[in-house]
Amino acid sequence: MIFKEDRYLEKIPFVSLEKAQEIAKDYPTPFYLYDEKGIIENVEALKEAFSWNKGFKVYFAVKATPNPFIVKLLHEHGCGCDCSSKTELMIAKSLGITGDEIMFSSNDTPTDEYEYCDSLGGIINLDDITQIAKVHKALGRLPKKMFCRYNPGGVFNISNDIMDTPADAKYGMTTEQIYEAYRILKDLGVEEFGIHAFLASNTVTNDYYPKLAKILFKLIVNIKERTGITIKYVNLSGGIGIPYYPYQDPNDINEISERVKRAYDSILVENGITDVAICTELGRYMLGPYGALITKAINEKHTHKEYIGVDACAVNLMRPAMYGAYHHITVLGKEDEIAVHKYDITGSLCENNDKFAIDRVMPKIDMGDLLFIHDAGAHGFSMGYNYNGKLKSAEILLKEDGSYQLIRRAETPKDYFATFDCFDFYDELIKE
Ligand X SMILES: *Cc1c(COP(=O)(O)O)cnc(C)c1O
Q: Does 285 bind ligand X (CB under 6 A)?
A: yes
Q: Does 82 bind ligand X (CB under 6 A)?
A: yes
**Distance separating alpha carbons of residues 357 and 353, to the nearest angstrom:** 10
Pick from 11, 57, 63, 392 the residue near ligand X by CB under 6 A: 63
User: One-letter amino acid identity for 244?
Assistant: Y
Q: Does 198 bind ligand X (CB under 6 A)?
A: yes
User: Which residue lies nearest ligand X, judged by its C-beta?
Assistant: 238
Question: Which region, judged by CB under 6 A, interacts with ligand X, from 47-55, 61-69, 222-230, 324-332?
Answer: 61-69
**Contact between residue 425 and residue 419 where contact means Cβ atoms under 8 Å apart:** no
Please report how close the Cβ of residue 61 comes to ligand X at its closest, in angstroms: 3
**Contact between residue 134 and residue 155 where contact means Cβ atoms under 8 Å apart:** no
**Distance separating alpha carbons of residues 362 and 329, to the nearest angstrom:** 8
Please report how close the Cβ of residue 244 comes to ligand X at its closest, in angstroms: 13
* Residues 205-264 close enough to bind ligand X by CB under 6 A: 237-239
Please report how the helices 111-119 and 86-94 are oriented relative to each other, as an axis angle in degrees rounded to 10. Answer: 10
Pick from 73, 89, 135, 282 the residue near ligand X by CB under 6 A: 282
Using CB under 6 A, count the residues that bind ligand X. 18
* Residues 119-158 close enough to bind ligand X by CB under 6 A: none
Question: Which region, judged by CB under 6 A, interacts with ligand X, from 87-95, 183-191, 264-272, 281-289?
Answer: 281-289
Contacts of 213 (CB under 8 A, 6+ apart): 234, 236, 260, 263, 264, 278
Nearer to ligand X, 21 or 201 (CB): 201
**Site mask for ligand X (CB under 6 A), range 350-369, x = bound:** --------------------
* Spatial CA neighbour of 70 closest among 407, 411, 410: 407
Nearer to ligand X, 36 or 82 (CB): 82
Q: Can you say whether the dihedral through the CA atoms of 47, 52, 53, 55 is positive or negative? A: positive
Q: Does 89 bind ligand X (CB under 6 A)?
A: no
Please report how close the Cβ of residue 59 comes to ligand X at its closest, in angstroms: 8
**Contact between residue 131 and residue 172 where contact means Cβ atoms under 8 Å apart:** no
Dihedral, CA of residue 154, residue 157, residue 160 and residue 163, to nearest 10: -60
Q: Does 66 bind ligand X (CB under 6 A)?
A: no
Nearer to ligand X, 36 or 281 (CB): 281
- The secondary structure of the chain in percent helix, strand, coil, rounded to multiples of 5, reads 35, 25, 40
**Distance separating alpha carbons of residues 110 and 128, to the nearest angstrom:** 13
Contacts 24+ apart (CB under 8 A), 135-142: 136/188, 138/111, 138/114, 139/114, 139/115, 141/188, 141/189, 142/185, 142/188, 142/189, 142/190
Is residue 319 classed as helix, strand or coil in its secondary structure? helix
Pick from 201, 248, 271, 348 the residue near ligand X by CB under 6 A: 201
Nearer to ligand X, 309 or 380 (CB): 380
**Contact between residue 153 and residue 123 where contact means Cβ atoms under 8 Å apart:** no
Pick from 281, 354, 369, 395 the residue near ligand X by CB under 6 A: 281
Dihedral, CA of residue 147, residue 46, residue 245 and residue 296, to nearest 10: -100
Nearer to ligand X, 284 or 355 (CB): 284
Q: Does 284 bind ligand X (CB under 6 A)?
A: yes
Please report how close the Cβ of residue 311 comes to ligand X at its closest, in angstroms: 27
Nearer to ligand X, 31 or 147 (CB): 147
Q: Does 314 bind ligand X (CB under 6 A)?
A: no
Pick from 378, 394, 396, 398 the residue near ligand X by CB under 6 A: 378
Q: Using DSSP, how many helices (H) and how many strands (E) does the chain show?
A: 13, 19
Question: Which region, judged by CB under 6 A, interacts with ligand X, from 86-94, 114-122, 198-206, 360-368?
Answer: 198-206
Please report how close the Cβ of residue 84 comes to ligand X at its closest, in angstroms: 6
Q: Does 88 bind ligand X (CB under 6 A)?
A: no
Q: Does 105 bind ligand X (CB under 6 A)?
A: yes
- Give the H/E segment covering residue 196: strand 192-196
Q: Where do contacts with ligand X occur on this chain (CB under 6 A)?
A: 61, 63-64, 82, 84, 105, 198, 201-202, 237-239, 281-285, 378
